[in-house]
A and B are shown apart, each in its own frame.
Chain A
Amino acid sequence: MAELGRAALILTFGLSVYALVVGGYAAWRGRRRLAQSARNALIASFFSTLVAALVLVVGFVRNDFSLAYVAGHSSRALPTPYKLSAFWGGQEGSLLLWLLVLNGYAAAAVWLARKRARDLVVWVTPVLGGIAVGFAWLLVVVSSPFDVIPAPADGSGLNPSLQNPYMVVHPVALYLGYVGLAVPFAFAMGALLSGRTDERWIVATRRWTIVAWTALGIGQLLGAHWAYVEVGWGGYYAWDPVENAALMPWLAATAFLHSVMIQEKRGMLRVWNVTLVSLAFCLSLFGTFLTRSGVVTSIHSFTKSSIGPWFLGFIVVAVVFAVGMIWLRLPQLRTTAKLESLVSREAAFLYNNLLLVALCLTILWGTAWPMVSEAVRGETMVVGRPYFDFFLRIFGLPLLLLMGIGPLIAWRRASLRGLTRTFAWPAAVALATGVGLIALGAGSSTPGLVAYTFSAFVLATIVHEFARGTAARRALTGEPVPTALGRLIGRNRRRYGGYVVHASIVLLAIGIAGSSAYDSVTEGRLARGQSLDVGGYSLTYRSLGEREGANATEVRALLDVRRGGKDLGTVKAGKNAYSVEQQVSNEVGIRTDYLTGEDLFVIAEQVNDDGTVFFRVFVKPLVNLIWLAGLVFLLGSVITLWPDAREERRLATRYASARERSDTPATT
């Protein structure tokens, strides 16, 4: 079996090289048949990668411990679902998943675009082939998942922290996101290579970008929820390099999704867009590098790791290639359209982009600073939470405000009268909310208060937009409200789906502000019968129980919860001691108030021999809005992604006219 897997990977490598070399030659010399064969090689490489992946899956399912990778990440007792997720439990399997997802995206993207954007696909094929060559090389030569060893009686098992439903879904979602960004990048580079620098590459990849961006966002929220529920330190995001690794490309992709609209509508920002998509893709490579090369622990361990230097080289090649191509095509990318006013939709989008990129780059700086300072000064310096929190506030809060302004402000040049008409109502709502919140005592945290006021403003603009659109339809057609609303969204999926996504970001902001700016925490050692007060709750420690679970000894402390004299039942918190892995894990107790979105979060930090327990208890207002935001985010993305026949026709006409223009040999 191992031979089959290895052969499939070598075949993938060969096909990728063919797509790169022959595809590049065919595109350069304009050989149509040859280009088609290169494209087919790229598609075929997906199937050969699939074979390799299936061999590894079969290895896991059949407990084939002669495969070193299976022996190192599985065991006979491991439940079957986790045998599948053990696939990406280590480095080699993760790389194979990367390549599989990449080739899947590549095959689908070039196949679906083969007719409509044929002259682009010719150049996209070698770019995607080039990326695949890099990963296939790592898998064939440096870090093979099919290394064979004399089979041990049993495998060494999967790390307990990965034996968890979140760790089955979360990595796949993240990889779908990271790798998906390769598609818009490849199309952008293809457009630059072909010398056709109009916005067709953007139109051809809009859906792919949104799919990748959605997956990356959902993957991160799943990770955050995992950290919150399972890791149990009382938070959901710690600015860990591994977390930042996914956040940075997401921010860059968010900026890209916004700025391409300006190019589509006004033909501006061409250089900026190819730069952003390159940034997003290179950051996703950098993210994989961060999590996989060990560079986070120290530069020393990085130079010892087998794939680290290769990966760094790969990133350098990608950056140099992207910068070189943009530099080369700079004359063709220049646009005539100029920004007419600093108060216009174009300008609002530009500010949005600057803030997103600024946030992204400051996070990059903070994440890379330990490595940079170690390399430059020989002394590792680390920046902590205050650094990241500061920049999240200073750039994030204006972004939140812009989310309300950008979609409503007029194109080109906004007039004062127009501004008053559009924003008077939302501004009044925001002001009233702010005053009301101060009266309620929310003034204890200025960033929190600002976040809430801005959130109210944005929500008011969104509600206003939906109401206005529905009313206009009703006036025109006389439809009942639900029909009018449904058709309104159906006819303008991109616009209203976008509003829904914006609403989800507002929910996220409210949740983050509520749980970080207005949380309360108390800790203390309690004997049985003693109580602890926190954020309006009163907890009484009742009893301590111990029982033997399947693979762990489970200790649980039982607490009575009361608020304002009302009995709210009990909550359990404790620890599991895993015998085989010799590891203790906190099992936190969470009591959710579904009406207010507030969580009572109990950690039994330390269970003492005399039966006393040291508790740490958080009250986190509105934290559940963060998870709700994930669902709303998904809904909004699905709305914008839903196939739209009218849009297809509009694009078809546009493609046709674009082809006519580009068929006249003038550009090259």
Chain B
Amino acid sequence: MIALSVAGVLAIFLLYTSLAGGGTPSVSPSELATKTGEVALAGRVVGTPTGDAHGAGLRFVLTDIHKPGHRVTVLYKGSVPDMFRPGRDLVVTGTKRADGVFVSKPGTMITKCPSKYQAADTSS
């Protein structure tokens, strides 16, 4: 009986993951070149953001968190978290356009809270 219930739970789990897939790949700006389709892009904001997130879109540049150099321009619309500003690490979900600009889905920006992930912050 217990084995049956456990099997049932496992079946639900496997069914879900096989239908919905294993999630979205999370990549850094330098890895983006080889990716097509929807990805979560994680990087650090550099330079000055321009534009209007609630109008034509906010434009900013992301670079790798640990080895700056490779830069990707991001076009973003929707809510901008408080923590957003140059120097902060964040994640946006979207796809790369043919011209290399990363167009994010509206409202997907998540900033990494520096206080809670302090250990990572100080060591990098």
| Contact A381–B26 (Cβ < 8 Å) | yes
Contact segment of A103-111, A124-132, A448-456, A581-589: A581-589
> Which of A300, A342, A395, A525 makes the CB contact (< 8 A) with B54?
A525
Distance A350 CA – B2 CA, assembled complex (angstroms): 8
Contact segment of A42-50, A382-390, A487-495: A382-390
List, in ascending order, chain B residues with CB within 8 A of A362's CB.
13
> Which of B12, B26, B120 makes the CB contact (< 8 A) with A294?
B120
B36 at the interface (CB under 8 A from A): no
> Which of A233, A384, A603 makes the CB contact (< 8 A) with B23?
A384
List, in ascending order, chain B residues with CB within 8 A of A373's CB.
22-23
- Binary contact readout B55-81 vs A (1 if CB under 8 angstroms, 0 otherwise): 000000000011000000000000111
List, in ascending order, chain A residues with CB within 8 A of B65's CB.
297-298
Distance A381 CA – B20 CA, assembled complex (angstroms): 13
| Contact A606–B54 (Cβ < 8 Å) | yes
List, in ascending order, chain A residues with CB within 8 A of B85's CB.
582-584
List, in ascending order, chain A residues with CB within 8 A of B117's CB.
291, 294, 296-297
Distance A355 CA – B122 CA, assembled complex (angstroms): 39
| Contact A91–B118 (Cβ < 8 Å) | yes
* CB closest residue in chain B, given A350: B2
Task: Kindly provide the distance from the CB of B104 to the nearest chain A CB, expressed in whole angstroms.
Answer: 14
Task: Kindly provide the distance from the CB of A594 to the nearest chain B CB, expressed in whole angstroms.
Answer: 28
| Contact B123–A305 (Cβ < 8 Å) | yes
Report if A304-B124 is in contact (Cβ < 8 Å); known contacts: A369-B23, A382-B24, A525-B54.
Answer: yes
| Contact B54–A297 (Cβ < 8 Å) | no
List, in ascending order, chain B residues with CB within 8 A of A308's CB.
119
Count of chain B residues near A, Cβ 8 A? 41
| Contact A586–B22 (Cβ < 8 Å) | no
A267 at the interface (CB under 8 A from B): no
From 289 to 312 in chain A, residues with beta carbon under 8 angstroms from any chain B beta carbon are 291-294, 296-298, 300-302, 304-308
> Which of A294, A300, A369 makes the CB contact (< 8 A) with B119?
A294
List, in ascending order, chain B residues with CB within 8 A of A292's CB.
119
| Contact B114–A307 (Cβ < 8 Å) | no
Task: Kindly provide the distance from the CB of B38 to the nearest chain A CB, expressed in whole angstroms.
Answer: 11
Task: Kindly provide the distance from the CB of A584 to the nearest chain B CB, expressed in whole angstroms.
Answer: 6
List, in ascending order, chain A residues with CB within 8 A of B82's CB.
231-232, 583-586
| Contact B27–A380 (Cβ < 8 Å) | yes
Report if A301-B23 is in contact (Cβ < 8 Å); known contacts: A159-B115, A350-B2, A351-B5.
Answer: no
| Contact A233–B120 (Cβ < 8 Å) | no
A605 at the interface (CB under 8 A from B): yes
| Contact A354–B6 (Cβ < 8 Å) | yes
Kindly name the residue among B66, B79, B119, B121 whose own CB sees the greatest number of chain A CB atoms within 10 A: B119
> Which of A339, A355, A382, A523 makes the CB contact (< 8 A) with B26?
A382
> Which of B12, B52, B113 makes the CB contact (< 8 A) with A606?
B52
A161 at the interface (CB under 8 A from B): yes
A498 at the interface (CB under 8 A from B): no
Report if A606-B23 is in contact (Cβ < 8 Å); known contacts: A159-B115, A296-B117, A394-B12.
Answer: no
| Contact A386–B54 (Cβ < 8 Å) | no
| Contact B123–A354 (Cβ < 8 Å) | no
From 354 to 388 in chain A, residues with beta carbon under 8 angstroms from any chain B beta carbon are 354-355, 358, 362, 365, 369-370, 373, 379-384, 386-387
Report if A161-B23 is in contact (Cβ < 8 Å); known contacts: A382-B40, A582-B85, A585-B82.
Answer: no
* CB closest residue in chain B, given A302: B120
Distance A606 CA – B78 CA, assembled complex (angstroms): 10
Report if A162-B115 is in contact (Cβ < 8 Å); known contacts: A294-B123, A305-B123.
Answer: yes
| Contact B9–A354 (Cβ < 8 Å) | yes
From 277 to 298 in chain A, residues with beta carbon under 8 angstroms from any chain B beta carbon are 291-294, 296-298
> Which of B2, B24, B112, B120 makes the CB contact (< 8 A) with A381?
B24
B32 at the interface (CB under 8 A from A): no
Distance A305 CA – B122 CA, assembled complex (angstroms): 8
> Which of A306, A339, A606 makes the CB contact (< 8 A) with B1?
A339
Distance A645 CA – B79 CA, assembled complex (angstroms): 57
A207 at the interface (CB under 8 A from B): no
| Contact B20–A387 (Cβ < 8 Å) | yes
| Contact A380–B25 (Cβ < 8 Å) | yes
List, in ascending order, chain B residues with CB within 8 A of A195's CB.
none
Task: Kindly provide the distance from the CB of B109 to the nearest chain A CB, expressed in whole angstroms.
Answer: 10
* CB closest residue in chain A, given B93: A384
* CB closest residue in chain B, given A238: B110
A616 at the interface (CB under 8 A from B): yes
| Contact B26–A90 (Cβ < 8 Å) | no
List, in ascending order, chain B residues with CB within 8 A of A608's CB.
52
| Contact A306–B119 (Cβ < 8 Å) | yes
* CB closest residue in chain B, given A394: B12
* CB closest residue in chain A, given B82: A585
Task: Kindly provide the distance from the CB of A128 to the nearest chain B CB, expressed in whole angstroms.
Answer: 26
List, in ascending order, chain A residues with CB within 8 A of B53's CB.
605-606
A537 at the interface (CB under 8 A from B): no
| Contact A342–B1 (Cβ < 8 Å) | yes
A89 at the interface (CB under 8 A from B): yes
Task: Kindly provide the distance from the CB of B96 to the nearest chain A CB, expressed in whole angstroms.
Answer: 16
List, in ascending order, chain A residues with CB within 8 A of B116's CB.
242, 291
From 67 to 108 in chain B, residues with beta carbon under 8 angstroms from any chain A beta carbon are 79-83, 85, 89
Interface residues, chain B, with chain A CB atoms under 8 Å away: 1-2, 5-6, 9, 12-13, 16, 20, 22-27, 40, 52-54, 65-66, 79-83, 85, 89, 112-124
Other than the known A301-B123, A358-B9, what 7 A-B pairs have Cβ atoms closer than 8 Å?
A91-B122, A233-B79, A304-B120, A380-B27, A383-B24, A583-B82, A583-B83
29 residue pairs A–B, Cβ–Cβ below 8 Å: A159-B114, A159-B115, A161-B115, A233-B81, A293-B119, A297-B117, A298-B65, A301-B119, A302-B120, A304-B123, A305-B119, A305-B120, A306-B123, A339-B1, A354-B2, A354-B9, A355-B9, A365-B13, A373-B23, A380-B25, A381-B24, A381-B25, A384-B24, A386-B20, A390-B16, A395-B9, A603-B79, A605-B53, A605-B79
